[in-house]
Chains A and B, each alone.
Chain A
Amino acid sequence: MHLYLPVALTSINVLVPVGLGLAVGLLSGLFGVGGGFLMTPLLIMFGIPSTVAAATDSNQIVAASTSGTYAHWRVGNVDFKMGLYLLAGGFAGGLIGVEGIKILRAMGNADFVIKMTYVLMLGIVGSYMFFESIMSMRKKKVHEAEEQRQESAFGRFLKSLPLQTYFEKSGVTHSVLIPIIFGSFVGILAAVMGVGGGFLMVPVMVYILRMPMHVVVGTSLFQILFNCIEVTFLQAYTNHTVDFVLAVLLLIGSTVGAQVGAVFGRKLKAEQLKVILAVIVLVVTVKIVFELTLSPSLLLAQSGGH
């Protein structure tokens, strides 16, 4: 059955957005990512204009991350304190990133910077997570205690910063400046790349903030929820590009997918979760590299989006 989308001005088979929502929602519940880096290109592939695809995806992520955050919160996997500091940093970073994009666009090389940032960040994050997780799985528990005793110079530097506070849910002590600074960093990159930034925030929480993987997933979803509420409103208000009908079709799948993902996540170990996420990130990186190097069939595209 096909439905006509009033803002996208196109018709779509309802099974397509519901199926896409289910698949991306599953990843969201499993890994704590919004999935915008997957969903937006997929929607464009199915004929949705790029501006509508990006804005509507934010709308459906509100539903998926509400569903996922709720599922993780009920089992105590959301660190609200850490999430709020990251959110504050991410908000400030987003404002800086948006201004940065304006400057780059005025200079005429915004697309080059965006694409390169995309490939480098996805490539570095994906590769690091992949190899680190494989190494961790091999080392087993024997080395774990030994590793924890060895503190790196970077770790000592983090401990020396002022405003140290204990994050009970995550079981870690950090200066409040750390989540704010790294939240800002992710916010800048997310604004430059035009994505929610979940796939960057998750590694920051795992490798820099040293939070347990399952608290990372819940906290990341909590943070993504607020980011996407802001983005959805701004897109609806300024660009009129949120397609409510498409968003409803997507969220039918994504809310269920997020719940299934959260349940399924219990059956996987943290390292396994990291490896799967790393593989997905690397596959997306390879796809973007192919897009950049192979001649496109069409040399013109709809305006808007990245």
Chain B
Amino acid sequence: MRLKTVLIIACAVFVLVLNGAASAKLTATANHDHIKIDFFYHGSSVSVRGVSDPGSDLIIKIASADGHQALRQKGKVAGLLWMNVGELKFEHVPSMYSLHCSKKITDILDPGEMEKYAIGYEAMDKKATIQPVANDSEKTKWFNEFVKFKEDSKLYSETTGDILLTANGQEQDYYVLTPWPYQAMPGDYTVTVYAVRDKKVVEKAESRVFVEQVGLVKSFATMAKNSSVLYGTISIVVALVAGFGVGLIFRKGGGAH
């Protein structure tokens, strides 16, 4: 009985050692995990690094939590004039989405896996709901417009081949540097690294980036929201004083004929 137990433990250790030799545990670390928005903030940059199994391809997704957004929809009126014709409500879409792949995503990942892990615009289209739209093709058309709008605002991006991979013995080091747009709202962002083999996700690791307003920026934003009467009054008084003050400085001016 005792010998049997010893043999089982020895086999388990042997299997673990073999496994360890074949693959490294996937890790992910964001270097800049707390971004502070102060008066001189003009965006930042975030690098993600870690180790992975040498045989794996990598996909790195940086995204906010899914939320909703209402946008004005432009269309033609009377077949001639472009103007706002309504509002579209987008549900289950992140406000920011940045995807980095070691190779072209359709070459390394199965469509079913993309959908399962919400990787790529096509998968996001399937997950999102848009109201009001008449059918699926109209939904896809407006989702593509949504992506165009977000890419224009620097909040959505998909890039291929920007992950730097370096062999390191039995492991593979990876590194990606991505610009952090100043348009990204304060909040929590998740960095997810997927190790992919044979078009399947075999492992994933996560890290976080937290963005918050600090100092006077935070005070003004909070005051505008929570003490709007005081904020409005101060805005008006400052404008009146500034206008009058500059008027006094320019005493010799005037508009008479």
B41, A4: Cβ atoms under 8 Å?
Answer: yes
Instruction: Report the interface size class on chain A.
Output: 35 or more
Most buried by B among A10, A71, A232: A71
A94 close to chain B: CB less than 8 A? no
A10, B71: Cβ atoms under 8 Å?
Answer: no
Spot the interface stretch: A55-63, A145-153, A180-188: A55-63
B137 close to chain A: CB less than 8 A? no
B244, A112: Cβ atoms under 8 Å?
Answer: no
Instruction: Report the interface size class on chain B.
Output: 35 or more
B61 to chain A: closest CB distance in Å?
23
Spot the interface stretch: A95-103, A125-133, A200-208, A289-297: A289-297
B135 close to chain A: CB less than 8 A? no
B40 to chain A: closest CB distance in Å?
7
A236 CA to B236 CA, complexed, in Å: 10
Q: What number of residue pairs across chains A and B have CB atoms under 8 A from each other?
A: 214
Option from A4, A62, A240, A294 in Cβ contact (under 8 Å) with B228: A240
Spot the interface stretch: B2-10, B45-53, B75-83, B161-169: B75-83
B228, A266: Cβ atoms under 8 Å?
Answer: no
B41, A300: Cβ atoms under 8 Å?
Answer: no
A75 CA to B251 CA, complexed, in Å: 11
B255, A72: Cβ atoms under 8 Å?
Answer: yes
A298, B145: Cβ atoms under 8 Å?
Answer: yes
Q: Which B residues between 201 and 238 are near A, CB-CB below 8 angstroms? A: 213, 216-218, 220-221, 224-225, 228-229, 231-236, 238
A63 CA to B239 CA, complexed, in Å: 4
A285 close to chain B: CB less than 8 A? no
B83, A115: Cβ atoms under 8 Å?
Answer: yes
A124 close to chain B: CB less than 8 A? no
B85, A111: Cβ atoms under 8 Å?
Answer: yes
B39 close to chain A: CB less than 8 A? yes
Which residues of A are interface residues toward B (Cβ below 8 A)? Answer: 1-4, 6-7, 9-11, 29, 47, 59-60, 62-68, 70-72, 74-77, 111-112, 115, 214, 217-218, 229, 232-233, 235-238, 240, 242-245, 247-248, 251-252, 255-256, 258-263, 265-266, 270, 291-303
Query: 10 nearest interchain CB pairs?
Result: A66-B243, A236-B232, A75-B256, A70-B247, A255-B246, A62-B239, A262-B255, A75-B254, A63-B239, A259-B250
